Amino acid sequence: MKLSGVELRLISMPLVAPFRTSFGVETTREILLLRAVTDEAEGWGECVAMSDPLYSSEYVHAAVDVLTRFFIPALADVPELDGNAVAPALAKFKGHRMAKAALETAVLDAELRAQGRSMGRELGAVRDRVPCGVSVGIMDSIDELLDAVGGYLDAGYLRIKLKIEPGWDIAPVRAVRERFGDEVLLQVDANTAYTMADARHLAGLDPFGLLLIEQPFDEEDVLGHAELARVVSTPVCLDESITSARAAADAIRLGACQIVNIKPGRVGGYLEARRIHDVCSANGVAVWAGGMLETGIGRAANVALAALPGFTVPGDTSASDRYYRTDITEPFVLDQGHLAVPTGPGIGVTPIPDELAAVTSKVDWLPL
């Protein structure tokens, strides 16, 4: 394909309720969307960077800058452009994996649309629908948490993930177990809020039969996670620490994780995400699909990824109405705890023009 140019579009999506984690509270999601225009088709990608560099070092306006100044111009020199050519073309640039992932996805989506192939088929999906979990933020009270969890279980979600931090960990987990029983699939996510000094305290979660504890320590403390895995019986899952297939292989070798959360934006794209899936599968390590409060653009591709065979734990591939009253695509709707894998060409969805325009704050066109 020949790339004509890329549109960068900033949108602002109000959340249905504030979402609190150990690193802050979100009430509105600022999102960067990319539209790659080629001589054969157009493709869409969603950058999952947050407004502030809290989850990772990346943030929305830095992604706009690096895409504008470096990444998009670099594709002008690629003679045979397709999805697989993007990462090699950008390899000389350090970091900025979320921006790289958005650009690769937009190009890959255009390629697949031109060829009439779906993202699921391209990645190797083996299911036509995927089981869904939901992420529950830190609440102001236990009663508020129990009401929220009860609502999600009534809606049909098959797994509950509780965000935790020091001072909000054992008590909420105990309360959810006491109210809803041991049969509920339950896990916790610390988003790097603890240190090895908290290991014995985190072992207090062991009696509750959790699926996993996700990223309790700093993303660079892989050895600390390996030490923790020898102290607690709850399986340790890595998120922020896994930035590539190589990082996954190293963490597995060190015994730092028994489960891996794969977020395509965090690792540089869906093609690298598939490589991580393959590394984990070869080593008998389960994986699941994480989420970054995506719109339907990002959610569609995430659901396709979650349909690969190694994804054996319900992911954070929640329905559209978990976060947004109105999505910019046709909404993803929960059906008996599952979401359908899109079967149309590319990611299988496109923005609804009126909905997209209603939330757009800025559009830039970068011709090549």
Residues belonging to the active site: 163, 263
The Cα 31–Cα 29 span in angstroms is 6
Q: Which helix (H) or strand (E) holds 114?
A: helix 97-115
Long-range contact set of residues 61-64: C-beta below 8 Å, sequence gap at least 24: 62/96, 62/99, 63/32, 63/96, 63/98, 63/99, 63/102, 64/8, 64/10, 64/32, 64/364
Contact 234, 194 (CB under 8 A): no
Distance CA(297)–CA(160), nearest Å, equals 24
Cα 349 from Cα 327, distance rounded (Å): 12
C-alpha neighbours within 13 Å on the C-beta side of residue 52: 6
Q: Are 368 and 73 in contact (CB under 8 A)?
A: yes
Contacts of 284 (CB under 8 A, 6+ apart): none
Cα separation of 301 and 189, whole Å? 23
Task: Tell me the CA end-to-end span of the chain in Å, nearest whole number.
Answer: 13
State the virtual CA torsion across 361, 113, 133, 203 in degrees, nearest 10: -90
